[in-house]
Amino acid sequence: MIIAINARTLKPVPHDGIGWFTYEVIRGIVSAHPEHRFVLISDRKYDDPPVSGSNVEYVTIPLRTVHPLIWYAWHEFFLPGVLKKVKADLFVAPDGIISMHTTVPCIPVIHDINYEHRPDDIPWSERLYYRHFFPLFAEKAARVATVSRFSADDISATYGIDPDKIDIVPNGVADIFTPPLPGDAEETRREFTGGRPYFLFVSNFSPRKNIGTVIKAYDLFRKDNRSDHVLLLAGRRLYLTRDIDRALEASPFGPDILFTGSVNRTVLRRLYGASVALIFVPWFEGFGIPVVEAQRCGTPCILSDTSSLPEVSGGAALCAGPADAGAIASAMARLVSDEALRRRLAEEGKRNSERYTWDNAATKMWNCIIKTVNNKT
């Protein structure tokens, strides 16, 4: 069988959830199924291919997809010919974008449909593209994959898709994420916060991630509690981040709000393990990989009580409304003062995170592929 995969989001060092899903799932299914041929179609050439094997071939469509108009041209004008040329039996799109002009059966992985519920959180050109094409992709698809039960139900209800057509392929946690060894946490705090305890946020910076409210909650926590805790923000800016700037400008504790920039998994494991808690309270989330990574490191989590996060966390977290900075601040105070609660959430969270592995994700993606092939024949 020849399986073509949209590899535009395949990078040697991914920077977001879709990137990690692409990398880990492609690597997993390629390794597990040497009897099949995989054609990875990208918009760039790789000096060092992220995934390799005797059953892997890379094809480049040399048009860098940096704007929705180019997305359209790449997928609708160039991709169908490539699929025909390589004689693909199936096309898998880890980023959810397929071609409307191919007869090859397609599986888009639609991680969530945040743009339907919070359209103003993304630039207008991307918003128009997503809201126009993704309902068409979901309808055309042979099957649809997504990362949580919440997203599956949301896609089905919003787009009128038969639930039986949707497979859940949850994200995973890499083996590198483990609780800190003795002395690790102290060394990490010395390096990043001058030895002070800290709360951690991990993700890219965009309006949906609600960092402004995280900063407001931190301000309330510091005002109401005698502590010198730092707020550490790990990630990179994407777009529309003026709300973060306003919150920083208004914060009386601005010098104690620190940015690490993007960090690799080795550093991220250390940051999770040394933190008091992960604060992750987005307005909308299809899965939330930082949640299960933090849990695997034995770190308690303060999460939104909305969308997929109660499901993904397995109930092993403190949850609050994403608009309620006071409730988030109260959860921070509870974790600082209640050692038994911290220990319980750490233990329950670690058990919950063990449900999520990248091997399991690759297996479930393969099962989706087999269902599609069987329905075709």
Q: Which residue has better confidence, 51 or 377?
A: 51
- Average pLDDT over all residues of the chain: 95
Q: Any idea where the domains of the chain sit in the sequence?
A: 2-172+357-372, 184-353
Q: How confident is the model at residue 368 (pLDDT cuts 50, 70, 90)?
A: very high
CB atoms under 10 Å from CB of 337, counted, come to 11
Interacting residues of 307 by C-beta distance below 8 A, sequence separation 6+: 112, 150, 282, 284, 285, 286
- Asked if 201 and 279 count as a contact pair (C-beta separation under 8 A), the reply is yes
CA dist 154 → 108, 110, 126, 146 (Å): 15, 11, 20, 10
pLDDT at 240 > cutoff 70: no
The amino acid present at 240, given as its one-letter code, is L
Model pLDDT for residues 263-281, shown as the tens digit of each residue: 999 999 999 999 999 999 9
Q: What is the CATH number of domain 184-353?
A: 3.40.50.2000
| pLDDT tier at 377, thresholds 50, 70, 90 | very low
Q: State the burial class of residue 64 (Cβ atoms within 10 Å of its Cβ: 0-12, 13-18, 19+).
A: exposed
Per CATH, 2-172+357-372 and 184-353 having the same topology is answered yes
Average pLDDT over residues 339-343: 96
Q: 108, 144 in Cβ contact below 8 A?
A: yes
How high is the pLDDT of residue 137?
98
Runs of H (alpha helix) within 160-258: 184-193, 211-224, 242-250
CATH architecture for the domain at 2-172+357-372: 3-Layer(aba) Sandwich (3.40)
Is 70 exceeded by the pLDDT of residue 201?
yes
pLDDT, tens only, 23-70: 999 999 999 999 999 999 999 999 889 999 999 999 999 999 989 999
